[in-house]
Amino acid sequence: MDIIEINSLRLRTYIGFSPHELDAPQDVVIDLRIGNERGLAGETDKPEDAFNYRTVTKAVIALVTNSRFRLVEKLAEEIARAVVLDFAADFVAVRVHKPGALRHSDSVGITIERRPQDYARNAAYLCLGSNIEPEENLASAIRLLRQHTALLAISPVYRTAPLGFADQPPFLNMAVKIHTLRNPQSFKAEVIDSIETALGRLRDPDNRNAPRTIDIDIALWNDEALVYGSKPWHIPDPDTLRFAHVAVPLADLAPDYLHPTAGRSLNAVAAGLERTAMQRLAIDFA
């Protein structure tokens, strides 16, 4: 295995959770060791056969400088994930240090090692909706999801007419794809419920279609069909086959995904649903 080394990449990002760490970006120092099994460049001497460390470095710079993190562990994990999944590295070691983070020490940090098999995690698709300050609450929900899990993809946003209770504002609906080590029940309890509570979700026992700050549902989980929790909840979400505001954003993310019970692609499911009350918006939550 060839090992490409990128040493002492010095960047600034928002990292930490203490009050003094939230107001201004801080220095981080990043070292990368990237493993490449192919190793053709040593035989051919052709630049196109070499691992493109410049492209990787640009991606790491963009990731670090455009994000916020509470822990160096999360920062290191997001870098490792990008290098392995986006650039097909066979191995990566990521070292992230914060200079001056501890008295009497030059720096404090972490080193992690990852390979492709480390990312064989649960892939889930979530549907999000809001009609109370929807742009602000959807953006906050995405930010909180990034803190709890690995956010892999974000669908376009659609304005949709309310269902069941017409005397309320239209909804903004979208979907995201995530990776998580949790099972559906713990993801619902520890991630979804905590985000909905943080964003002020209130449930009206007399009107299940009432306005809401945020609504997050697990629509799909790997390629499984299952029941979980005390309600119980069903995966796939039955609404995926019933409503365009659920199926269309999911199809944007994974058009060829075969619905586990219907046996049809999400593209086919979405194409068969009425969507005249939906309008795609030019909002980018990425």
Sign of CA dihedral 143, 91, 87, 252: negative
Measure the CA–CA gap between 284 and 156, rounded to whole angstroms.
7
Token pair belonging to 193: 């419920």
What letter does residue 258 receive in the DSSP assignment? B
Beta bridge partners, 111, equal 95
Question: What is the β-pairing status of strands 91-99 and 26-36?
Answer: antiparallel
The residues that bridge with 244 in the sheet, in sequence order, are: none
Residue carrying the six token digits 């306005």? 211
The catalytic residue among 58, 74, 98, 177 is 98
Strand spans (E) along 16-154: 26-36, 68-69, 91-99, 107-114, 122-130, 150-154
98 noted as active-site residue: yes
Q: Which helix (H) or strand (E) holds 8?
A: strand 2-15
Q: Name beta bridge partners: 281.
A: 157
Cβ pair 172, 135 in contact under 8 A: yes
Instruction: Report the distance separating Cα 271 and Cα 47, nearest Å.
Output: 45
Please say whether the dihedral angle defined by the alpha carbons of residues 205, 209, 211 and 216, taken in this order, is positive or negative.
Answer: positive
Local structure of residue 83 (DSSP, 8 states)? I
Report the run of H or E that residue 1 belongs to, with start and end.
none
**Closest alpha carbon to 212 in 157, 250, 170, 274:** 170
Any idea which residues carry the catalytic annotation? 98
